[in-house]
Structures are given as structure tokens and as C-alpha cells.
Structure 1
Amino acid sequence: MNQRIRVFARGVTLLEVAVGIAILAVASIGAINYQYHATRQSLVAQSEMTATRVAQLLLEDWKSRGGDETYNPEELGLGFVAMPAEDAYRIKVDNLPMTVYLDWKDVEKDEEAGVTLREISVEFRWRLDRTDGAIRGQDPEYVMTTLVRRDQSSG
């Protein structure tokens, strides 16, 4: 009656190990891909924040001058450099070289009251690789626009 029950310890097969390694490899590649895209999008977000800060500064200063059509950001002394194109400037902020375009147009005019509503806008362009050089079609752009009231007393 004394029978021994034999219990065999079962290990993993070569196939199970291969499947586990394949799953681990796919997960690792996905994680590396995620890290790459997260880092790249982080740089894009930093560039957009830089452009936003500079655009707000320019619009507020330009607005305080009544939306004057002869506005020149070089007078701010912050590193804006005029380009050959009219109303175009270059500036480098946080190691991001940007091209800035200024534009304005009168959207409404009340002759009787002597008031003009002017739309002023600032467009920023920069290279996606954050280097100096000509702007390409796939490079990002950022535009901010606001309105300013021009009357007989404000320019």
C-alpha cells in the first residue's frame, strides 16, 4: 500500500520563453517610441509657449501705441532685427530663432465719432528643428490677433 506518487516539476518550454521575449520586445519598442514622441512634442510645446509670450509682449506694446502702422519692435531693445521684407523681423528667444511678421488693417471706421477699429496681428514662424535657416512649408506658425481702438486722442 505504500505507493509513491511521483510529482514532476514542470519548467517552461523554449516556445514559452520565446513568446515571453517577443512580448517584452514589442512592449520595449512601444515605450521607446512613446518617449521619442513625448520628447518631440515637449519641444514643440516649449516653442509655442515662447512664441506666445513674445506675441503677447508685442501685441500689448503695439496696442499701447494705438496700433500705429509704423510700429517698430526694434525700438523695444529686445533683439528684434528688421528683415528685408516689410514688417518682418528676426529674434532669438530661448535658443529658438523666429521670424515675426506684423500686419494690421482697419476693420471699422466711424467718421462721425472719429473712431477707427484696427485689427493688429503678429505671426511667428520657426523651423521645427529649432535651427536658423529658411522657413519651410511644414514648419509651425503661430498667429495672435487683437483689436485696438484708434481715435483722435490715441494716435
Structure 2
Amino acid sequence: MLFVLIAGGAVAGWYLGKVEDDRMRQMKPYLPDKQQERAQDLVSALNSRDPRKLQLLRNTSAAPDAPDNLQLDRLIEAAFPLPDCRYALDSVRDRGEQGTMDVSWVSSDTRTYRYDMLITETCPGRAPLHRSIAVIAVPYMGGYWTDASLLIER
């Protein structure tokens, strides 16, 4: 009798773990209007030149100046517009799921989703420059994607 209860508990635990694992695999879509909204917020934050204003996933269990948060700050600073310049969001290009990627301050080999922010950088006395900054999102609570990193393409 005790063996049946233990085996039944093990099967139930395995099943519930599998159901939760399956739910994590079923991410909610990252809809274009949400990407557009997030991209506009990110562009505004980049124009502020304050890395902390970018709503990207940070290591909140560590000190604000922990190495992984400093690494993210440096990445964000590399994406800032040139001095005396500003970005304007032109459009967003959905690139969909990208497989796994190592986003060091999140975890290694995590699922990723990408969208590109197509922007124009305007500077006084210069022709506008068109740029693309990729946003990498990772799975988050409730099966939603959350922005975690940037890829700068010049």
C-alpha cells in the first residue's frame, strides 16, 4: 500500500512538473503593437542617456553595480545616440523566435525572441543616419516575453 502511494505521488509530481514545463514552452505571442510600444519606450530611454531608464531585465538579486548589471549598462551605453543627436523610431521589424542564446545576466542558453527597432539618428549639421538596434527578449512570468538585451548593428 505504501509503495502504491509513493509511486502515485511520484507520477503525480512528474505529471504536474511536465504540465508546468509544457506551459513554459507555450509562450504567449509578442504582438506587433506591444513591440511598437516597447520600442518607443526604449528609444525615449536611449535618448535620455540614462541606462537605468531602459526597462530591460536586470539582476535584481544582486547589488545594482554587480558585474552583470554593469555589463548591461555598458551595452546600453554603446547604443546611445552620438552626443548632441537624437533617435526617432521609424518602425519595428518582428524577427520572431531566435532559438537559444546566452544572455549572461539572465541565464545561459535561454529561449530568445527578437525584434528590430529601425531608427533614424538626427544630429545638427549632418544628414540623418538610419540604424537598426535589435531587442532580445526572454521568457518571463506567465508565459510573456520580456526585453533583456540589445544588439547594436551599425
TM-score, normalising length: structure 2? 0.30
Structure of larger gyration radius: 1
Report which of the two has the higher share of strand.
2
Structure with higher RCO (Cα < 8 A, 6+ apart)? 2
